[in-house]
Chain A
Amino acid sequence: MSRTLASSPTPRLHLAARIAAAVFGGYGFAWGIVAAGASLMFAAGMDFHDAEFLASLLGVLAFLVVFLWAFAARRLWVVWTVLAGGGALLAATGSFVQSLLV
């Protein structure tokens, strides 16, 4: 269960990578949530500005949750995969829904 920094060869680099994952990966993931959320809710008939607002609300909360998780998670590669990968997938969903509507 040990994921101490001391066991990592370059503890400073590992920490920097974790912070980067939390900040940039987290932002990317939040962006994805807003993209997918706003486009899907608009597609479901909600007013655009309402959808944008609600999606931003979820995006901020999602950023908070994944930021904490990025520091609590055992393996950093899982964090990067979920945040960068998940974020990209969600953002792509947003663009896809948009292409269907416009």
Chain B
Amino acid sequence: MHEPAVAAVLLLAALLASVAGMGWLALSMSVHAQQVWGATLSANAAKRLRAAGALALFVALVLCLAVDHPTMASLVWVMGLTAAAVGVAMALAWRPRWLGVLAPWVRVRAAGR
């Protein structure tokens, strides 16, 4: 469909969107927020992160569909979700602070659990 360079950029963007999406979904869970910031977020902040995560995953799907025939784009998207989830899980296991990059507006709150 597109020339290879354009396709590569779009697919890279899709992967990044998937990583952001999976990351935000992880951060919306209190156990992982604890790992990254040492504190849990408010219920509203968690809800916003979950919404952002879902939206990012949807954007990834749209980007995949822009590159390939739908029969292949759907597979690229699903496998991209897997790869992104593995990446986020490994970050949480070994370098949890790095995931803070995805939500730099969050300030660590010592109180308010």
A–B direct contact (CB < 8 Å): no
Interface residues of B (CB under 8 A from A): none
Binding site for B on A (CB under 8 A): none
